[in-house]
Amino acid sequence: MDWFQIIFNALTIFSGLVFGLLMWLNKRNPSPKFAIFARWSRWIFIASGSATIADGMGYPSEVLPLVGLSGFMGWFLLESGYSWLAVMAFSKSNLPLFPYYEENTRGDEWPSDDTSISIRGWLRSHQFTKVQALYAKIEGEVLMRVSIYENEEKTTRITVFIFSGIGSVSSVSFSFQSKLEDNTRIITDNIYLPFGGFYPENYYIERKPWKRSIDLLSQLHQRQCETVRDGRSLKPFDQLPLNELNVEQRNLEQLNRELGFLSPVGAEEEEGRITPAGRFRVWAELWMLSYFGKPRQY
């Protein structure tokens, strides 16, 4: 057995074990970090596994690197194609791109896990109080639950998004938002979903999907506010989150239709709700998020 055989056999075993461990950890505690490293380990497992299979079939050791490289590129093409089909299916589906929110009369519905308990403790200790609990639905099914909190001065709102997962496992993300007297919006979030569309010019958005700590994200938001404010004052929020969110969603939808991300209303049934250029933007951001945890710059 030469060095190529030893290397590929070791890589196959190691990457397979790492992939299994990370998938188990991600199932128990959903995290972009676990998911990203799991995808890389799976990719390495497929590439090295291709070379290991070729070795078992009697291929010369000199061609094993080429077989491994072919497996690596083959998986890239296969997954890229699958992601493109997923984006096209989403474009044709009835899942809302800009969901309409309703008040959740049952109040907050947090998961009963350690992460959620820690986040709620942080909110209390930093004097953030709940303003409203909302949810977005489609055909009677809840897509996500949302709880909105404000600081004492009402100059910063934290929107907590609770996405239902498999069984009793849910993932929690949050978005900090402040605004200036001229309605400039300053947003810092860690939402791990591709958007691909457009925001108004007066939106300053920092997306940090790797930052799962609410305290670290709060510090990033404060720094961003200081940079964008440039001496200007923050404006307190004076509307209920339900009204403001739904108006914001409709404005974003109209803007993205005007800028060519969304298809014209009459062409949605035939072409899908997202234009070809918009689908490419979503696909590219989905790939970058999946393997690098890096969203588009908005």
Q: Are residues 41 and 182 in the same domain?
A: no
Residue pLDDT, tens place only, 77-113:
999 999 999 999 999 988 888 888 999 888 777 877 7
Q: Which residue among 55, 70, 92 closes a domain?
A: 92
**Which range of residues forms the domain containing residue 212?**
101-255
* Cα gap 279→259, rounded to integer Å: 14
Examine the domain organization and report whether 130 and 73 are in the same domain.
no
What's the pLDDT score for residue 279? Answer: 95
Question: Are 74 and 152 in a shared domain?
Answer: no
Whether residue 182 lies inside any domain: the answer is: yes
Arithmetic mean of pLDDT, 229-246: 91
Q: Which of 87, 86, 81, 82 is nearest to 275 (CA)?
A: 87
Q: Let me know whether 128 and 212 are in one domain.
A: yes
Residue 136: enclosing H or E segment and its boundaries? strand 129-138
Asked which of 53, 74, 92 is the last residue of a domain, the reply is 92
Pseudo-torsion of CA 33, 37, 38, 41, nearest 10°? 180
Does position 209 have pLDDT exceeding 60, yes or no? Answer: yes
Q: How confident is the model at residue 37 (pLDDT cuts 50, 70, 90)?
A: very high
Total count of domains within the chain: 2
Residue that has been written with the tokens 């070791």 in this structure: 10
| Average pLDDT score over residue span 196-219 | 93
Give the residue-averaged pLDDT of 203-218: 93
Q: Is residue 187 a part of any domain in this protein?
A: yes
What is the Rg, in whole angstroms, of the alpha carbon atoms belonging to the chain? 23
In a domain, 15, yes or no: yes
Of all residues in the chain, the percent with pLDDT exceeding 90 is 62
In a domain, 260, yes or no: no
* Whether residue 65 is found in the same domain as residue 182: no
Q: What is the pLDDT of residues 139-189, one digit of tens each?
A: 667 778 899 999 999 999 999 998 765 444 457 889 999 999 988 999 999
